[in-house]
Structure 1
Amino acid sequence: MSNQQAQQAQINPGIRRRRKDTDAAPEIATLELHAWGNLGDTLANFEDGVINVFGGIPGERVRARIIRYRRRRRQHVSAIVGEVIDASPHRIDPPCAYFGACTGCQWQHIDYDHQLELKRQRVANALGEYPELRRIIVSETLPGPQMFGYRNHARFTIRESGMLGYINRLTRRFVKVDDCALMHPWINEALRALQGKAAETTQLSVRYGVNTGDWLIQPTMHNPDIPLPTGQTHYWEQMHDRHLRIASPSFAQVNTPQAERLATIVSERLRLDGTETLVDAYAGVGTFAVLLADSACRVIAIEESSAAVNDAAVNIEGITNLEFVCSRTEDYLDSLDDPPDAVIIDPPRVGCHPATLDALIRRKPKRTVYVSCDPDSLARDLAYLVAGGFAVSSVEPVDMFPQTYHTECIATLVPAVTLPADGQPEDTPL
């Protein structure tokens, strides 16, 4: 290996390169990292603009490999840290050998306490974009019980000779992976069993029931050398004392232990006493609805995915006070005969449809708990609801995704009240 090739391998180890790239010297630049950007990257001035830099921390001075590519007729430039000249006190050695080659984890190089604070700041900054939300105090991020080995779902890309791995977000190159630090140990065992044997497909999904030992591998593999059954249509998971069926297309949280804690917090914030009508909007396979059915008089779950509703039909068997509706939340919520006492909103990353927010404003439930995986869409929707007569009583980040920049968040809302002159009543923003 030439000196140039050795330097390139050090800057970005593990990336499989086309033959024409092997002799090309990498473009290296010394950069000052001055702020956080999108997707967990840092920002640095370079040439005539600002670029995203993977693997840095603001305040650091680094040598980084410059990545240039064209997309939609535009030239894009980014960088990957290769050498740290002046390190942040929060920098640690990432334990994964693929860090930098695989961009699935953005923050393995940051100590965990600082990751939690960055996520709290991320939520606070999103709220701060709206004047009506700036007084809200964001709670400290609830840490995950496991920093590694927590993911119950992996989606692998398949390349030549049936190799399994990931695509680097910046270079768009395939990275063969034999062990993923975020995956549950069983998924890594399955990965090694499938490695080099899955050439009949280009994508492979592996899902595992952490509390049941059940699994799902899709699509069906026909290679007789694969030692695991594949092609399952669903698998089973247990949360608290309930078994849940989850089909391949259905959504489920990837961190089962933290999802159980999430459900507990949602229950605590709703403060149900058994007399209420509870609506679980964007209900998925019915996790919240099933777990909270014993605490409410009536539960109505709304979900538009037919696959998830089919799962829910199995999951709610024997629960007599729970009804599941296959519909879009924005179409159904406002059609209820009686206004609900409590509502859970757990929308996709894009947030709620405006019609859903309008229905909440008209119905004014006594308590609404909004579960979000995107601080920006959460802040946008909270500002809309506050303008419509709600008050935000708490915002609590929950770390469902350690070692990444992603943040789950629970916001609790109540109808706004007039503040007394001598203080704040319970359930009003701090």
Structure 2
Amino acid sequence: MNKRKNSGYRKSGKNRNKSEKQYGQQPTARRSRTGGKSQGANDGRERSKKTVTAEVSCSGLTNDGKGIVQWKGKRLEVAHLMPGETAEVLVSTTGRTVKTELKRITNRSKDRVKPPCSYYYDCGGCQLQHMSERAQKRVKQETVEALMKSFGKPEPIMAMDHPYDYRNKSHTTFGLNKNRQIIGGLYAQNTHDIIPMDRCLIHDPKADEVVNTIKNMMKSFKMQPYNEDTRRGFLRHVLVKVGKVSGEIMVVLVAATSVFKGKNNFVNALRKTHPEITTILLNVNNRNDSMVLGDQEKVLFGKGTITDTLCGLKFDISAKSFYQINPVQTEKLYKKAIEMAQLTGKETVVDAYCGIGTIGLIASKKAGKVIGIELNKDAVRDAIGNSKRNGVKNARFYQGDAGHFMVQMAARGEKADVVIMDPPRSGSDEAFLSSVVKLQPKRVVYVSCNPVTQERDLKYLVKNGYAVESIQPVDMFPQTNHVETVVSLELKL
């Protein structure tokens, strides 16, 4: 998963919340939406740009789901092209930069489907909606198998029965269109141009309903969306978090200023339409950077957090805390990870990168002792609170660098039987991996949201005395190119 543990996450043209534009039976060329300011700066470059139409055949896919083709001896990548297909592709060259755009498919794959989302080809958040569910599973399975072939054959991927409506967190940006009407939606791919949308097919439907209500309320409350260029206006984003089991809903209004005229009336009107909302917060972000959430936060209604249940335990979720986006698949992933740990009730388990303590607390039910380590102090506070909330007596959480913590454990002669690690997309670094080797746990369970960096890290562990026992892919984000993997390793020294 694309993780930023317990922090405000960054906005991007490649938002993980998506949709798409209906292109009928075949995708066609899409014009880029370039703002006036950047276009003026690129006039000279545009004059030297050359675009030709090339006929190509797709021989395979990249790790991020793009089609691989050959053109004039060069390997090119084409979005939305599938293996075995032939197509006409626009190839644009500017100096040494080569860009491609799918123009027309001349020979279609039997696995190609019409994307169900009307914003798909503009949004870019989903990358695989043009593939059947069967093809998506196959592509992700083959991706993991290719990366992990030196370690063994992965198990069949754990897919999702209903691969839509799964995201328990959504983020919507607001602005004005050229007719000065308020719009809300997601950024077009690689731009800051907002695609107006009412529904994203992988969002929780209730979250989209709340956002649409807010958008419709803005005019009557004379609430202006924030303009990044003029730095005027009030509302920048709306973040919604939904407890999939509890049904609780958090709404975070991200504003450019703390001055919120008519806030009580606004909150009352929103709750009248959506009584299921259990808490509303005002987050103030007056920075001019890519972070969505600011440092200032005020609770306007409710307790400021929501609670949800995962693997039988209750977790408190704040606006900034990291909590798995797809809880249905997360339960499958965590149960598999704990199964791989082979716990008997006596083991000492280190939960590195523990976040708010989810996997460590779930593992505590089968372990002798759990030690969770997390760099973010707010996450540690949440983990301790979650431990008390669930009556867990055999788990302790510490703020600090997990690698340093484990080196100190080894220096004191302390042992750990199992290390569970769940790093961000960049994977671990050699300093952390060397600390695992120094501590010498009998077993390592490596949960990864990026099998590319995981494969790199596994090479280090294997080189230093560990052997891969099993590899399990999990489809955490259907319709996207992302795939999660959990790998178990055993010490062989």
Q: Give the structure 1 partner of residue 53 of structure 2.
A: 29
- 1:20-53: CA deviation from partner (whole Å, max 9, x where unpaired): 99xxxxx783542333235322233457844432
Instruction: Please state how far the C-alpha of 1:239 moved relative to its aligned partner.
Output: 0.8
Structure 2 counterpart SS, 1:101: helix
Cα distance in 2 for residues equivalent to 1:65 and 1:189: 38
Using CA pairs under 8 Å that are at least 6 residues apart, name the structure with larger relative contact order, 1 or 2: 2
Q: Structure 1: how far apart are the matches of 2:152 and 2:175?
A: 48
For residue 124 of structure 1, give the secondary structure of its aligned residue in structure 2: helix
- What are the within-5 Å matches in structure 2 for residues 260-299 of structure 1? 260-299=331-370
Partner of 2:270: 227
Paired residues of 1:31 and 1:45 also in contact (CA < 8 A): no
Aligned match for 1:327, one of 400, 425, 438: 400
Distance 1:314 1:390, change over 3 A: same
Distance 1:64 1:186, change over 3 A: farther
1:106-255 superposed matches below 5 A? 106-128=127-149, 134-160=150-176, 161-170=181-190, 173-195=193-215, 197=218, 199=225, 200-220=234-254, 222=260, 227-228=270-271, 229-231=280-282, 233-255=304-326
How large is the Cα RMSD of the aligned pairs? 3.0
Q: CA deviation at 1:126?
A: 2.1
Q: TM-score, normalization: structure 1? A: 0.84
Give TM-score scaled by structure 2 length.
0.74
The whole-number CA distance in structure 2 between the counterparts of 1:31 and 1:314 is 59
SS of equivalent to 1:316: helix
Q: In structure 1, what is the equivalent of residue 80 of structure 2?
A: 55
Deviations 1:271-330 (A, max 9, x none): 211111111110010001111212111110011112211211210103221100011111
Question: Quick check: 225-234 or 257-266, which moved more?
Answer: 225-234
Q: Which amino acid aligns with 1:406?
A: H
2:489 alignment partner AA = L
Counterpart of 2:123 in structure 1 is: 102
8 Å CA contact 1:300, 1:323 repeated in 2: yes
* Alpha-carbon distance in 2 for matches of 1:81, 1:100: 11
Asked if structure 2 preserves the Cα contact closer than 8 Å seen for 1:244 and 1:287, the reply is yes
Distance 1:249-1:230 versus aligned 2 partners, 3 A rule: closer
Q: What amino acid sits opposite 1:156 in the alignment?
A: T
Gaps of 5+ in 1: 1-5, 22-26, 129-133, 418-430
Q: Residue 67 of structure 1 contacts residue 171 of structure 1 at CA under 8 Å; is this kept in 2?
A: no
Deviation at 1:99, TM superposition (A): 1.1
Check the 8 A contact 1:55/1:109 in 2, yes or no. Answer: yes
Sort the Cα spacing of 1:390 and 1:89 in 2 relative to 1 into closer, same or farther, 3 A. same
Q: Distance in 2 between matches of 1:31 and 1:268?
A: 49
Identical aligned residues as a percent: 28
Residue 78 of structure 1 and its aligned partner are, at CA, apart by 3.1
CA deviations over 1:126-182 (Å, ceiling 9, x no partner): 234xxxxx1511111110232111111122232225422222225664311210011
Instruction: State the partner residue of 2:478.
Output: 402
Distance 1:153 1:42 in 2: 30
Distance of 2:377 and 2:34 partners within structure 1: 42
Contact 2:55 2:89 in 1 (8 A): yes
| Deviation larger for 81-90 or 47-56 | 47-56
Report the AA paired with residue 65 of structure 2: G
CA–CA separation in structure 2 for the residues paired with 1:158 and 1:103? 18
Q: CA deviation at 1:236?
A: 1.7
Amino acid at match of 2:415: P
Please list every run of 5 or more consecutive structure 2 residues that lacks an aligned counterpart in the other structure: 1-22, 40-50, 219-223, 226-233, 272-279, 283-298
Distance 2:236 2:59 in 1: 39
Question: What residue number does 1:348 align with?
Answer: 424
Number of equivalences: 399
Q: Distance in 2 between matches of 1:162 and 1:279?
A: 49
Q: Which amino acid aligns with 2:68?
A: L
Change (3 A) 1:310 1:209: same
